Structures are given as structure tokens and as C-alpha cells.
């Protein structure tokens, strides 16, 4: 009897060891059939079945059943963390589960540029992150979300400096704003604040002026000179008379010719009608636009108008008489090309 019991004990022990080895073989088994890294997106609210479906449809799993078994052994599946994850070739079931269970997301690149309105920005970001444009627009519409940071609905767009940033795909509207606010504050170093002060401008005013310069300049190398014109005008108390602010006021950026009827539009953004800077940027100011204002060219020009040769450059003038000659030549070219609006 003792021998029988001992024999059974060894049989059970060996079977147990064999089963354990079998399970560990499954856990440590390479279970990625893709030969290149695969990015998957796990939406908020996904359950374990939806996650497994995502992995399978993305062509990640060699064996769904071994992944499910490993997940159960590691107590993964009761809750699923949303986000974007990279699954590498050669990863084992254990590796895959560890990445997903820990919520170890791979950031996504979020890019935006040439943005003129908060609505346009919301649409652009909503196509790159899980949060949708409606949620982002709703966040922008509620000034209590950013009033304590010193911004209003009119000035908020200055926070978003066009570039490519790495963010977690699952970040919400508030998280996106907080990240961009950090980038904005990082940009405004003490050195840059001193440069702004030397021009008699606050960082907020630099953003406004930079947005106008961005709209005016077709050529990057002209931005500092154009910025210098506007700074000269501000110093002398002259209206900016910036055509892009009129386009913003009438909400028509496709205008190629500003007419008298446009100049009469009653809007605080109409810098022909109201002196000084408008109440906020007319677009997301670019880094080069901001730098062009901070390092504006020192000169005596007070006027500029586009050259009629189509080069994208401008004629700059110190006197109104000289400017009027250049402006007349430009209007004649517009007439020749039948551009009337």
C-alpha cells in the first residue's frame, strides 16, 4: 500500500510538473505572426473580447487561444486599459499581456499647422486622437477650463504652437490642452520675455502680432521685416491696417483683394477701423512667426505691399507717397489678371 501511494504521489508530481511546464511553454511562446511592429488602438470601454478581436484583426496573434489562456493565468481581462500600443515581432504571450495590462502605451505623433480657428483645430486633433472634435470644441467653448491660466476664448489659440508632438492616443481634451499649455510655457523662456518687453509687448501681444505676420508673409525670410513694419506702426500710434485681420473679420480667407466694403466691417479685428492690436490671434502663431516678432528687423519702413511680379515678396516703403506708387502698380496687375475680389 505504501509503495502504491508513493507511486501515485510521484505520478501526480510528475504530471503536475509536466502540466506546469506545458503552461509556461504557452505563456512564453512567441505568438506574434507579424514581421513588422504593429500599432493597435484600444478604444475606451473595450472589454477583453473586443481587445482580442482587435489583436486578431490586426494580424498580430498566431494563436488566439494561447493568448486567452495566458491572460487568464495572469489575471488579465477584468479591466482593459484604452490606448495605442505597439506589438513587436517575436513577443511572447507573456510580453503582450504585460504591455496591455500595464497600459504601457506607445505615443502617437500629433501634427497641426496652418490653423486659423479653434473649430479647425478641434477637427484636426479629433482625427488624430481618440477624443473627438465635438469634445474638444466643447472644452474650448467653456472659458472656465482655461481662465485661471490667463486665457480667454479670443486668446486661447495662442497656446497651440504648430508642430508635431507626441501624445498618448487616449488623452482627452483637457489632457491635450494641458500638454499644449506646457509647450507654450516652455517656449516662453525668460530670454524671450525680455525680447518681448524690449518691443513693448507682452507674450500674448507677441502671439497676436505673430499670427498677422504669418498670414502676411509668403516668404519666411521676410517675416522679421514685416514684423518690424508693424512694430514701427504700433510705436507711432498708427493703425496696423493689416489685410489678414479684415479677412478674419469677414470670415473669408480666400479673398485676394480687399475692397472698401470690407474695410467698413465693424469688428474689433478690423485693424483699418480700430487702432492697436486685435483682441486675439487670427490663427495659431507659428514658431517662426513668434521669433520674427521677437527678433524683428530694425528699420524705418511703415508700409509694404505685395510685389506684382508674383514672387511672393513685398515692396517696403518709408513714405506714403512711395507706398502709393507700389500699391497702384499692384492694383493694375490685379486688374490685368481680372482679380476683383
* Nearest partner of 177 among 219, 148, 216, judged by Cα: 148
How far is C-alpha 223 from the geometric centre of its chain's CA atoms? Answer: 23
The CATH classification of domain 21-102, taken from the options 3.30.1490.480, 3.30.565.10, 3.40.630.10, 3.40.50.300? 3.30.1490.480
| Annotated domain spans of the chain | 21-102, 108-187, 190-336
Q: Minimal CA–CA distance to 184: which of 105, 281, 264?
A: 281
Contact 135, 189 (CB under 8 A): no
User: Under DSSP, is residue 41 helix (H, G, I), strand (E, B) or coil?
Assistant: strand
pLDDT in the model for residue 23 = 47
What is the per-residue pLDDT for 214?
Answer: 97
DSSP string, 67-93: HHHHHHHTT--SS---EEEEEPTT-BH
pLDDT at 310: 75
Chain position carrying cell 483637457:
174
Task: Report the SS3 class of residue 122.
Answer: helix
pLDDT for the residue numbered 67: 86
Smallest CA-to-CA distance from 61 within 32, 26, 35 is with 32
Beta-carbon contacts of 144 under 8 Å, excluding residues fewer than 6 positions away, are: none
Neighbour tally for 57: CB within 10 Å: 10
DSSP state of 58: T
Q: CB within 8 A of 245, min separation 6: which ones?
A: 212, 269, 270, 271, 278, 282
- Read off the pLDDT of residues 4-44 as tens digits, 9 standing for 90 and up: 454 544 445 454 444 454 445 455 578 888 889 999 999 99
Q: In which residue ranges of the chain is pLDDT below 70?
A: 1-28, 334-341
Separation of alpha carbons 35 and 16, rounded Å: 35
Query: Which residues on neighbouring strands pair with residue 40, listed in sequence order?
Result: 85
Taking the C-alpha atoms of residue 123 and residue 52, their distance in angstroms, rounded to an integer, is: 30
Note the pLDDT tens digit of each residue in 195-232. 999 999 999 999 999 999 999 998 999 999 999 999 99
Task: Report the C-alpha gap between 251 and 148 in whole angstroms.
Answer: 29
Q: Rounded to an integer, what distance in angstroms lies between the CA atom of residue 327 and that of residue 47?
A: 65
> 209: helix, coil or strand?
helix
Residue 306 three-state SS: strand
CA 191 – CA 195 distance, rounded (Å): 6
C-alpha–C-alpha distance, residues 259 and 340, integer Å: 9
Burial (CB count within 10 angstroms: exposed 0-12, middle 13-18, buried 19+), residue 245: buried
From 251, 240, 265, select the one nearest 117 (Cα to Cα): 251
Cα gap 111→191, rounded to integer Å? 27
Q: How far apart are CA 264 and CA 242, in angstroms?
A: 14
Tell me how far the alpha carbon of residue 202 is from its chain's centroid: 24
CA distance 186 to 181: 8
The pTM (predicted TM-score) of the whole model is: 0.86
Amino acid at each position: 500500500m505504501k509503495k502504491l501511494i508513493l507511486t501515485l504521489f510521484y505520478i501526480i508530481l510528475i504530471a503536475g510538473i509536466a502540466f506546469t511546464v506545458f503552461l509556461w511553454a504557452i505563456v512564453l511562446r512567441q505568438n506574434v505572426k507579424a514581421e513588422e511592429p504593429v500599432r493597435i488602438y484600444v478604444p475606451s470601454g473595450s472589454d477583453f473580447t473586443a481587445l482580442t478581436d482587435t489583436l486578431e484583426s490586426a494580424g498580430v496573434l498566431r494563436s488566439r487561444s494561447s493568448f486567452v489562456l495566458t491572460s487568464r493565468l495572469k489575471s488579465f481581462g477584468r479591466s482593459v486599459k484604452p490606448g495605442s500600443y505597439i506589438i513587436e515581432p517575436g513577443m511572447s504571450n507573456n510580453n503582450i499581456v504585460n504591455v496591455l495590462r500595464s497600459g504601457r502605451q506607445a505615443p502617437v505623433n500629433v501634427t497641426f499647422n496652418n490653423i486659423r480657428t479653434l473649430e479647425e483645430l478641434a477637427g484636426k486633433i479629433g482625427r488624430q486622437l481618440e477624443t473627438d472634435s465635438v469634445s474638444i470644441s466643447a472644452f474650448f467653448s467653456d472659458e472656465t477650463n482655461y481662465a485661471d491660466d490667463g486665457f480667454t476664448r479670443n486668446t486661447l489659440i495662442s497656446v497651440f504652437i504648430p508642430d508635431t508632438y507626441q501624445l498618448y492616443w487616449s488623452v482627452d481634451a483637457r489632457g491635450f490642452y494641458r500638454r499644449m499649455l506646457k509647450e507654450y510655457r516652455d517656449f516662453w523662456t525668460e530670454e524671450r520675455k525680455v525680447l518681448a518687453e524690449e518691443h513693448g509687448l507682452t507674450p500674448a501681444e507677441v502671439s497676436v502680432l505673430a499670427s498677422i505676420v504669418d498670414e502676411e508673409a509668403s516668404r519666411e525670410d521676410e517675416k522679421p521685416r514685416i514684423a518690424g513694419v508693424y512694430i514701427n506702426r504700433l510705436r507711432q500710434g498708427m493703425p496696423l491696417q493689416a489685410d489678414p485681420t479684415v479677412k478674419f473679420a469677414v470670415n473669408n480667407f480666400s479673398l485676394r483683394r480687399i475692397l472698401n466694403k470690407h474695410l467698413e466691417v465693424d469688428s474689433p479685428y478690423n485693424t483699418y477701423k480700430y487702432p492697436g492690436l486685435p483682441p486675439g490671434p487670427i490663427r495659431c502663431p507659428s514658431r517662426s512667426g513668434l521669433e520674427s516678432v521677437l527678433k524683428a528687423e530694425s528699420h524705418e519702413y511703415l508700409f509694404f505691399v505685395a510685389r506684382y511680379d508674383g514672387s511672393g515678396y513685398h515692396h517696403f516703403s518709408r513714405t506714403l507717397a512711395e507706398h502709393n506708387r507700389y500699391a497702384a502698380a499692384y492694383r493694375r496687375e490685379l486688374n490685368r489678371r481680372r482679380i476683383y475680389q
